[in-house]
Each structure stands twice: as structure tokens, then as C-alpha cells.
Amino acid sequence: METKSEIIQVFTFTFLAFILMAMVLILFFYYSRKKIVAQQLETKNLEIAHQKQMLQTVIQTQEAERERIARDLHDGISSKLNVVSLNSHLLKTPNLSDAEIINITNNINDLTSKALENSRQIAHDLFPPVFDKFGLKAGIEELIVEFKSTNKFEVSFSNELNLDLLTKEQQLNFFRIIQELLNNTLKYAEAKQVSIKFIRLSKCNALIYKDDGIGFKNSAIKKGMGLTNIESRVSFLKANYLIKTSPDNGFEINITF
């Protein structure tokens, strides 16, 4: 009789122990699942914040660009056309001497050709015509000539890809990235040599940009609009990028696509 109740007791304890274990397991899974979901949520939130930040930069860049164009139009064209208009009214003045007429027409000619030159320059800055007609490679070559003319550094450029396979929009993104990189090298690097290469790797293609300037401490730098813009262009290109730089060791960026 006693053994029977002992068996029942043992059975009950084992059963309770199982229930307890099952409850502990369920609680454990429940809480770890909750933690994972919280972590996923946090990563998503960070991603959204990052995207917001990039969008903000794009808008800021657009505003800065508009401001610059407005300034160029105002100083380079409107003000000149104002004077042209004034001068052409002057031509209506009665009894002008020949010399005065020549003087006024010379003024008008001079100012209209300057306004024309400025409008060409503004259009060129907005969208380089060589780029439109001859593509990215020619665009980069022209950019290099412009930067070389500052006599600050040498630039070498090599390309083993068929860049014409990229869409116009992709080409424009690469063009703007290289333009900003060259700008930064000019502004900060004190470099002697820049190298720009499009190369084929085993599984993908890469753009490698290098200068031999003063570099910077990557962890300490506050990204400006330039680098943030590059980042959003890289993400538009569905590419990846890696910056290698440290004080006195130049600057290098690898963009794989």
C-alpha cells in the first residue's frame, strides 16, 4: 500500500517538475523573443533615422545649389542685362555724338558677351555638356583638366570597364562623387598625386580614388555635406564603400558595385 502512495508521490513530483520546467522554458523563450524583437525594432529605428538624415542632406544640398544658381544668375546675368538695358535706352538720347554712340554700343556688346559667357558657365556647372554628349569617361577627363589647372596636384586616371553600360543617372552619380572627392583633395589634402581607377574585381567592379595628402582620423571626423552626399549616392548606386585614411597617410575610398 505504502509503495503505491510513494509511486503516486514520485509521479506527482515528476509531473510538477516537468510542468515547472516547461513553464521556465516558455518564459525563457518568451523573454528572449521579446528581446530579439526589441533589438530588431531598435535597428529598424536606427536605419530610419539614418535615412532621414540622408534625405535631410539631399534637401540641404539642393537648397545650397539653388542659392548658388540664384547668386550666379543675379550677379552674372541679371545685373549685366540691367546695364545693357540702360545703355540701349541711352542710345535714344537725342544729339549723341558718334563717339558717344560707339562707346555705348561697345558697352552693350561687351556686357552681352559677358552675360552669354556666364550663362554658358552656369549651364555647364549644372550639367557638363561633354558629359551629356560623350559620357562619363569624357566627363571625368574634363574634370581632371580643370583640377590640374590649379597646379596643386597631378591626377592619373585609368579605366578598365565599359562605363557606357551604366545608365545616365548612374554615370552622373559617379561623376558627382569624383567631383566632390577632387574638391575635398583640393580643399584639405595638400596632396601631390591623385589616382582615379575603375577596375574589374573577381566578383564586382570598383572605383578606387586615392590621394597622398594629410588624411584624417576617420573616427573623429564630422562628415559634412560632401561625404554624406557621397554616401547617399553610393546607396543609390546599390554599391558599397570603404574609406581608408589616417593622419599623414593620405585618403582612399573604394566603391564596389
Ligand X SMILES: Nc1ncnc2c1ncn2[C@@H]1O[C@H](COP(=O)(O)OP(=O)(O)OP(=O)(O)O)[C@@H](O)[C@H]1O
Which residues contribute to the site for ligand X (CB under 6 A)? 184-185, 187-189, 211, 213-216, 221, 223-227, 251
Backbone φ and ψ for 129, nearest 5 degrees, come out as -60, -35
∠ CA 134-208-146, nearest 5°, is: 45
Closest CB to Mg ion among 59 and 221?
221
Query: What minimum distance in Å lies between the beta carbon of 154 and Mg ion?
Result: 21
Closest CB to ligand X among 198 and 251?
251
Q: Which of Mg ion, ligand X, none does residue 129 bind to, with CB < 5 to 8 Å depending on kind?
A: none
Closest CB to ligand X among 131 and 153?
153
Query: What minimum distance in Å lies between the beta carbon of 161 and ligand X?
Result: 24
Query: What minimum distance in Å lies between the beta carbon of 228 and ligand X?
Result: 6
Query: What minimum distance in Å lies between the beta carbon of 139 and Mg ion?
Result: 19
Query: What minimum distance in Å lies between the beta carbon of 150 and ligand X?
Result: 15
Closest CB to ligand X among 103 and 193?
193
Return d(Cα 246, Cα 244) in angstroms, integer: 7
Closest CB to ligand X among 170 and 184?
184
Interface with Mg ion by CB under 5 A: which residues?
184, 226
Return d(Cα 10, Cα 2) in angstroms, integer: 12
Q: Which of Mg ion, ligand X, none does residue 205 bind to, with CB < 5 to 8 Å depending on kind?
A: none
Contact 118, 71 (CB under 8 A): no
Contact 129, 116 (CB under 8 A): no
Q: Which of Mg ion, ligand X, none does residue 223 bind to, with CB < 5 to 8 Å depending on kind?
A: ligand X
| Terminal alpha carbon distance of the chain | 80
Contact partners, residue 68, CB within 8 Å, separation at least 6: none
Closest CA to 171 of 199, 124, 207, 146: 207
